[in-house]
Amino acid sequence: MGNVKSTAENAANETVISRRMPNPKLVDRVLAPIRQQIQDLVVSTGKSSKGGPKMMRVLDVACGTGDQLFRLRRDNQIDYGLGIDLNPESIQYARERAQAAGLVLYNDDNDNHDCLEYRIQDLQDLQQQQQTETDNQFDIAMATLFFHVVPWPTAVSLLMTMSSMAPKLIVAAFVPGEKWQDKLLLWLDQRFTSHYAAFCHYLEKGSFEGLLQECDNCLEVEQVLLTNDATIRIYVLRSKAFVNGQGN
Ligand SMILES: C[S@@+](CC[C@H](N)C(=O)[O-])C[C@H]1O[C@@H](n2cnc3c(N)ncnc32)[C@H](O)[C@@H]1O
């Protein structure tokens, strides 16, 4: 096909991200078993750190309602959690919920490092910011159900950026189900979203496994976990940038 791009690819590059927040309580309830699996992985990473158990700094890209970091901080399992999302409504919800539960939110006026920080930010700025801020290292960088939402080239560059920010990545991502019923349910779930074109392109490129192939020089797979949803898997990845105990 030479350099003729597929229709899905052209459409996907023009994806418009929805600014509407889906019902946050419903989303968090549906994803609760997956959040728990991720929480367990974070805790076991902390326990098995070199030099003994440690409390950690965790980055959640496209954090949505902020629920994953909320649970970790509420249960005193991380020191600092940074959640980034483009959607102001989601970030507002995350901040208000954390505050209502008595959790400390980051604030420019204090130097408290044991806190949660939720930022409204386009992740496309993260790479540039990573190059200019020295303070941007984490123990774990995570993302849940994000890479099918953005155009493929953005997904590739963001996954690479995440690999330069933390030695371990935990990603929950869609995979095409094996049974036709799973495929149909996934299609119905995505068909009427504003990122449907990006989702189609993501499947066409091999979903998260395809993304990993593109980032082969940055990341290696440590573990792949099944979840209660046949179309979602959790990938635990090691960043090659930190193999000798160093970042870049
Ligand atoms: C399917 S939701 C997943 C949210 C969350 N990770 C969860 O598990 O509930 C995808 C999220 O990606 C966010 N998003 C999409 N593109 C983004 C971008 N360029 N920068 C920051 N956030 C983005 C959306 O606002 C949305 O909250």
Q: What is the pLDDT of residues 201-213, one digit of tens each?
A: 999 999 999 999 9
Model pLDDT, residue 55: 72
- Residue nearest ligand 1's atom 5 by CA: 64
* Tokens matching residue 104: 């400390």
* Tokens matching residue 83: 């959640």
Choose one of 36, 146, 156, 202 to mutate for the ligand 1 pocket test, by most ligand atoms within 8 angstroms of C-beta: 146
* Tokens matching residue 235: 């990938």
- Residue nearest ligand 1's atom 10 by CA: 146
Instruction: Name the residue with tokens 């805790």.
Output: 43
What's the gap in Å between 62 CA and the centre of ligand 1?
4
Measured CA to CA, the distance from residue 157 to residue 226 in angstroms comes to 26
Write b or e for each residue in 54-77: b if 16 or more Cβ atoms lie within 10 A of its Cβ, otherwise e.
eebbbbbbbbbbbbbbbbbbeeeb
Model pLDDT, residue 215: 97
Which H helix or E strand runs over 30?
helix 24-30
Residue 144 CA: nearest ligand 1 atom is: 6
Measured CA to CA, the distance from residue 187 to residue 70 in angstroms comes to 30
Considering the entire predicted model, what is its pTM?
A: 0.90
Model pLDDT, residue 3: 44
- Phi, psi for 162 (deg, rounded to 5): -60, -35
Model pLDDT, residue 225: 98
> Which residues in the chain land under pLDDT 70?
1-20, 51-53, 110-112, 130-136, 244-248
What's the gap in Å between 177 CA and the centre of ligand 1?
22
Ligand 1 binding pocket, CB closer than 6 Å? 17, 27, 31, 62-65, 85-87, 90, 122-124, 144-146, 149-150
| Fold (topology level) of 19-176+206-240 | Rossmann fold (3.40.50)
Strand 116-120 and strand 232-239: pairing? unpaired
Give the CA angle between residues 13, 18, 22 to the nearest 5°.
140
Between the alpha carbon of residue 182 and those of residues 146, 177, 188, 229, the distances in Å are 19, 5, 10, 9
Model pLDDT, residue 1: 36
Q: What is the pLDDT of residues 164-205, one digit of tens each?
A: 999 999 999 999 989 999 999 999 999 999 999 999 999 999
Model pLDDT, residue 2: 39
What's the gap in Å between 112 CA and the centre of ligand 1?
27
